[in-house]
């Protein structure tokens, strides 16, 4: 059936530090990406991961259904709605451009898989600035979002909880001994969706599966790497199996 092509948009950032030394001040900046663990987990698998860093999303994320449909699965991870909505032709030059949130919804309805992974700029995110609530992205996900900042920090850690769906292809064979996580975005599972894992924190969902038209959808409300997903979780053998099975299921394989 061929290899599985996954487009993951987001998961990069630039950090700037201010250094004050007496009278003097200087700054340093560092570019970072958050998918090193995922890339390693998918090595030698049937999944071809194409990473589109956050700073390239406004200009390089596909603008047509034909271009987007070359991928079997689309993933948004820690990238806000504005980065998809505001192409420079629109924001800088006041031209009409494609609504890429609606474009994603259309290709998913036609059979492409879609997943949102949690983070500070996923779902509603920090200060509700990710802004996916009441958009076509919320419409296609198997969860509904809060209208406010939806981050739930759990510094003491929580362990993913089984809800009796351990036979689902996404989590089959992973058992009950999961490592801990440190936070998630608070959402609600839709009544017709499949809740696969709970956070155990007020029964908030961790992993939810669903469909939109001909496409399959997933919501993973925690992170794909630090800080909510610690290095010990990445080192756990189930980490690679989870993502390989998730992308395989989303692709309809």
pLDDT along the chain (253 residues), means of 10: 93 96 97 95 96 98 97 98 98 98 98 98 98 98 98 98 95 95 98 97 96 98 96 96 98 95
- 3-state secondary structure labels for all residues of the chain: CCCEEEEEEECEEEEEEEEEECCEEEEEEEEEECCHHHHHHHCCCCEEEEEECHHHHHHHCCCCHHHHCCCCEEEEECCCHHHHHCCHHHHCCCCCCCCHHHHHHHHHHCCCEEEEECCCCCCCCHHHCCCCCCCHHHHHCCEEECCCCCEEEEEEEECCEECCCCCCCCCCCCCCCCCCEEEEECEEECCCCEEEEECCCCCCEEEEEEEECCEEEEEECCCCCCCCCCHHHHHCHHHHHHHHHHHHHHCCC
**What token pair was written down for 211?**
């469909």
For the chain, what is the domain count?
Answer: 1
Contacts of 107 (CB under 8 A, 6+ apart): 65, 68, 69, 74, 215
Contacts of 157 (CB under 8 A, 6+ apart): 180, 181, 182
In whole angstroms, give the CA distance from residue 162 to residue 196.
7
| Structural domain containing residue 71 | 4-250
- Radius of gyration of the chain from its Cα atoms, rounded to whole angstroms: 18
Burial class (CB in 10 A: 0-12, 13-18, 19+), 75: buried
CB-hemisphere CA count at 13 Å for 1? Answer: 9
Q: What is the pLDDT of residue 1?
A: 65
Closest alpha carbon to 200 in 221, 217, 218: 221
Q: How far is CA 8 from CA 26, 173, 222, in A?
A: 34, 25, 16
Closest alpha carbon to 9 in 64, 71, 99, 92: 71
Residue 113 main-chain phi, psi, to 5 deg: -80, 155
Q: What is the pLDDT of residue 176?
A: 87
CATH of the domain at 110: 3.40.50.880
């Amino acid at each position: 059936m061929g290899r599985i092509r996954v487009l993951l948009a987001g998961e990069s950032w630039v950090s700037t530090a201010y250094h004050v030394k007496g009278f003097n001040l200087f700054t340093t900046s560092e570019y970072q990406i958050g998918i090193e663990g995922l890339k390693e987990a998918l090595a030698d698998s049937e999944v071809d991961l194409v990473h589109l860093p956050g700073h390239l999303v406004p200009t390089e994320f596909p603008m047509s259904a034909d271009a987007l449909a070359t991928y079997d699965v689309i993933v948004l991870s820690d990238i806000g709605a504005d980065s998809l909505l505001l192409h420079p032709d629109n924001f800088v030059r006041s031209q009409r451009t494609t609504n890429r949130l609606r474009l994603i919804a259309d290709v998913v309805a036609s059979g492409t898989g879609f997943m949102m992974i949690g983070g500070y700029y996923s779902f509603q995110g920090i200060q509700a600035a990710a802004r996916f609530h009441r958009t076509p992205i919320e419409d296609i996900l198997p969860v509904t979002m809060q209208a406010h900042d939806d981050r739930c920090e759990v510094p003491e850690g929580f362990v993913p909880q089984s809800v009796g769906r351990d036979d689902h292809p996404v989590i089959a064979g992973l058992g009950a001994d999961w490592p801990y996580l440190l936070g998630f975005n608070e959402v609600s599972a839709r009544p017709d969706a499949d809740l696969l894992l709970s956070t155990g924190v007020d029964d908030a969902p961790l992993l939810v599966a669903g469909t939109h038209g001909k496409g399959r959808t997933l919501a993973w409300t925690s992170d794909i790497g630090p800080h909510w997903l610690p290095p010990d979780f990445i080192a756990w053998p189930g980490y690679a199996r989870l993502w390989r099975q998730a992308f395989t299921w989303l692709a309809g394989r």
